[in-house]
Structure 1
Amino acid sequence: MLLIYTHKISPRLKYIFKHICTRILDVNVSFTTKIEEFIAHDSLKMSYTRQQLGNEFFIKSHDILFEQGLSDVEIHVHDWGDTKGFFSNGDKSAIPFDIFAASFYLLSRYEEYLPQVRDEFGRFLATESVAFKHDFLHQPVVDIWAFKFKDALQSHFPDFNFPKRTYSIKPVIDIPSAYNYKLKGIIRTFGGAIKDLLRLRLKNLYDRFMVIFGLKHDPFDTFKYIINKQKQSRFKFVFFFLIGSYSTYDKGINANKKKFVSLIKQVADYSIVGLKTSFFAIDSIAVLKKEKVQMEAIINTSLTASKQSYSKLNLPETYRNLIELEIEEDYTMGYVNHIGFRAGSCTPFLFYDLDYEIQTPLKVHSYHLMDFALLKNHSLLDKKMVLNQIMNEVKQVNGTFIPVFHNYTFSNDQRWFGFKELFNIILESVNED
């Protein structure tokens, strides 16, 4: 057990030390404000305060972990070996940055509470983040810092054996619409056919009616392929089905359709099934509750996981709604058009509510890559290179790689050429040395 001496045991301090020490390094941690207790402890120990007590392992503390609410925090990012760091803390500290304060800033999404430019859907932009502006979005810096901290501790306590964790994957399959043409109803099918005709999309028109009359396979119906991949992998995929009402933003399948319900049940036999919330459920707990109840009736068990439409998060309200409805996990934290680590980590973490100053029970699984972001790279070779780069970043800290693919990504559409091969690379990455 690692004992931390500090001048004040705050909720923020307990939260971030438990994440870095327990969730990343798998070392239990406890806290004291009593010097006598600290001196008497005969195992791992460190002081985290303003002034060093003697010659103990010491990291000088930044004020952010002892504050409440938001303040105008100055961020000065500096190079630190192969990575970056901020909140530098002078020569006497065992490491040159207060990684606990910096990690808290990133994991709590402190910057997303501050005024900033948002996109047309009201989403926080990757380009507004400190990670993008200072060129460390591509690295899980919280995990990298944790291992730098571990190395420094190991030098001070050479006889202590730290546990080791292993690299893993958690593929996410996002399903805004299970089918492109099937189960759309007469009005939507007729409307779609008219649009195809007016825009001279004759191939779409031909495909639409071939699918409807059962002469051709629906291009979005790739579930047999994905389930076969799931059977070959020891890691569970997480499927998110949209079952909300049809709207300007959501064009899914009616959840009352028996074949759609049957599909969800079939997928739930092999993988984890979560709720892809509708666009209007993001801001309405009543709509969210309705969709949750509906999904639980389909899968015949409690709903544990959600992913918000369009990867939109309104912090802290979105997460508070999930907590109130006892949804345990969320997979929304990520960027649609940028590859990288929105919260700076490849380790799932608990959401910290900055307004209430409490650690919540909601576990956030931040995704690191969405299939759309790979479309920026035109050649398959470039896509493979970018994919391997981000996976290698996760492998170096033995974290969990979370990619997001859509059901239509595995179709034969030319736009998604090679994506089956990319998905295979991810699945096989756990078998490599």
Structure 2
Amino acid sequence: MLGRAFDETPIGCMMDVREPFRSKAWYALETLLRPLGLVPEESAAGGIWYGPEPPGEDGWLYLKMDPGTPDDITTSFRGQKPAVWTGGAERIPVPYSGGLDDQGDLIASAFYWLAGCDYRANRSRDQYGRVTGGGSLLEEWGWADGAPVDEYSRILGGLLRKAGLAGDFHRLPWSLCPTFDIDYLRKWRPGIIYRELIQYGLLGRGPSPRGRRLARSSWEIIAPGPDPYRAALRRILDELSRRDVRGSFFFKAGATSAHDVGYSLNGRFLRKSLGDIARAGHDVGLHPSFHAYNHPGYLARERKRLEEAMDRPLAAVRSHYLRWDDPATPRAFRGEGFDLDSTLGFPDRTGFRNGTCRPFMIWDHEAGAPSGVWEMPLALMESSLFNREGLDLEGALKRTRVLADTVRRHGGVLIALWHNVLWDEPDFLGWGEHLLATLDLASETGGSIGSLSQVFASRTLGQSGQPL
């Protein structure tokens, strides 16, 4: 269903499960087995047996199915205490258990998180139509910064070893993917000048003392040096080059709302920057405009513009404002040739929105099948840390280390997002230092650093692209 990586070993599997849930269970099992280097193949000769009743013969690892699992599996568990896996010292939340001793239904529970069933069962959204971490079941159960799906995979590996169906598994070192959304190419635009001089400077509605801010802004406008947002983009490239690592840059190619700041792809500064990015081996991806996330016409126009400016295919896509409409967004992305996305994260906090820190295939609920679009799950955005959660640099780094610990535990990928407003202080105090400290954290704790396409290829296709 998901395709096989070059080094995956087949393992027999039988499912005593009817459609339409059977396809969902098979997808979940494939996703759980992939990090173990295994791929399920239907076989009656022994292996993994999944169903409500155990097999009648030896040679099988029996994974219990919760008999109460509905075919549409979009049950709401809000307000309920989680069932937990209690084997040994483990206490891992499993939505589906059915009172099955101490072994919950790992397959149905994995599908529930991976396919975003919680967000279909509970339609609460913010003013931009987005799923929020604060309104998620993962947050309610205290697992937003954890990765329950990856815990299930680890548990499954232990059960397979215990049953004599597999040997030792080799965990990959963890990876950091630094990504950058280029929402603006310059700071000093008419709206910003009005905000700085009138609203913040004269009316005192800004975040710093009025007189100091008015003096600073006036000086930057009257005697401008390099634009701070352009300077930030150049410094980001310098910092990555100094470490000899790759990142992923998402550029806009259109504006369809007041929430977009349009910019030309043909200006001298951007053309030079795009050339430097390409020569350094970084990814260039599309950052679709505010309304393009579910509008194929806007998306096609913007993809074409950016591809023509780059003169090469784009590596990935991420929606502006992290907007998402299931299944319209992944279908639109797939229709434009994108097979790698990194939108699915929370806009208001850190965390693993789909319960995993590893690449996974997005599920299409209406088609009842995988969408064909792989997700590199976004876990951290600097504006969420500093603005929405109100953390200072020390608090932001502490939270980042928590996420890195989760990713390191599972040999996963920490995908982090910064914008090219870094080092423009005092407005974005500590944001630039957070980027540098996060890069250093990966280097100091055995993590590799790479672009989204580079890390994705090394983990799902067995191809490293460039050495990590």
* Fold in common (TM above 0.5): yes
C-alpha distance in 1, partners of 2:245/2:153? 25
CA distance in 1, matches of 2:130, 2:226: 35
Q: Alignment partner of 1:28: what SS?
A: strand
Aligned equivalent of 2:261, options 228, 251, 261: 251
Distance 1:4 1:150 in 2: 15
Give 1:137 deviation, angstroms: 0.8
What is the TM-score with the length of structure 2 in the denominator?
Answer: 0.81
Aligned to 1:395: 408
| TM-score computed with the length of structure 1 as normaliser | 0.87
Does the residue aligned with 2:38 lie in a helix, a strand or coil? coil
1:61 aligned to 62, 65, 69, which one?
Answer: 65
State how far apart, in whole Å, the 2-side matches of 1:401 and 1:128 are.
22
1:369-399, Cα deviation, whole Å (9 max, x unpaired): 1101221354432222111111111111110
CA distance in 2, matches of 1:241, 1:209: 29
Find the aligned partners of 1:64 and 1:274 in 2 and give their Cα distance.
42
Residue 37 of structure 2 aligns to a residue whose secondary structure is: coil
Where 1:58 maps in the other structure, the secondary structure is strand
The equivalent of 1:185 in structure 2 is none
Does residue 1:242 correspond to 2:252, yes or no?
Answer: yes
| Number of the residue aligned with 2:440 | 428
Is contact 2:160–2:166 with CA below 8 Å preserved after alignment? Answer: no
Greater Cα shift, 380-389 or 249-258 = 249-258
- Corresponding residue for 1:17? 29
- One-letter amino acid of the counterpart of residue 126, structure 2: D
Taking a change above 3 Å as real, the CA distance of residues 70 and 156 of structure 1, as seen in their structure-2 partners, is closer
- The alpha-carbon deviation at position 111 of structure 1 amounts to 2.4
Gaps of 5+ in 1: 40-44, 182-187
Alpha-carbon offset, residue 238 of structure 1: 0.8
Question: Residue 2 of structure 1 contacts residue 28 of structure 1 at CA under 8 Å; is this kept in 2?
Answer: yes
Q: Alignment partner for residue 277 of structure 2, among 261, 264, 267?
A: 267
SS, match of residue 279 in structure 1: coil
1:77 aligns with 2:82: yes
Once the two structures are superposed, what CA deviation does each residue of 1:173-228 show, in whole Å capped at 9, x if it has no partner? 111102212xxxxxx54x654554433245324313433xxxx1211121222112
Secondary structure at 2:275 match in 1? helix
The Cα of 1:236 is off from its aligned counterpart by 2.5
CA distance in 2 between counterparts of 1:159 and 1:291 reads: 47
Q: Provide the rounded CA distance (Å) in 1 between the counterparts of 2:81 and 2:239.
A: 45
Distance 1:381 1:71 in 2: 39
- Amino acid in the other structure paired with 2:83: H
Choose which of 12, 16, 21 in structure 2 pairs with 1:7.
16
Q: Which amino acid aligns with 2:51?
A: T
Name the % identity.
Answer: 19
Q: Secondary structure at the match of 2:261?
A: coil
Residue 278 of structure 1 aligns to a residue whose secondary structure is coil
Q: What is the one-letter code of the residue matched to 1:38?
A: A
Instruction: Tell me the SS of whatever aligns to 1:18.
Output: helix
Q: Is the 8 A contact 2:229 2:424 kept in 1?
A: no
Q: What per-residue deviation string (whole Å, max 9, x for no partner) do you get for residues 312-347 of structure 1?
A: 111111111001111111111001221111011000
Aligned length: 408
Alignment of 1:33-432 (within 5 A): 37-39=44-46, 45-53=47-55, 54=57, 56-62=60-66, 67=71, 69=72, 71-72=74-75, 77-80=82-85, 81-91=90-100, 96-157=103-164, 160-181=167-188, 189=190, 192-199=192-199, 200=202, 201-211=214-224, 216-221=225-230, 222-233=232-243, 235-245=245-255, 247-270=257-280, 271-375=282-386, 376-408=389-421, 410-431=422-443, 432=445
- Within 1, Cα distance between the matches of 2:73 and 2:159? 31
Secondary structure, counterpart of 2:170 in structure 1: coil
* C-alpha separation in 2, matches of 1:125 and 1:78: 23
Letter in 2 for 1:358: A
Q: Do the aligned residues in 2 keep the contact of 1:171 with 1:404 (CA within 8 Å)?
A: yes
Structure 2: runs of 5 or more not aligned:
1-9, 203-213, 447-468
RMSD, aligned α-carbons:
2.4
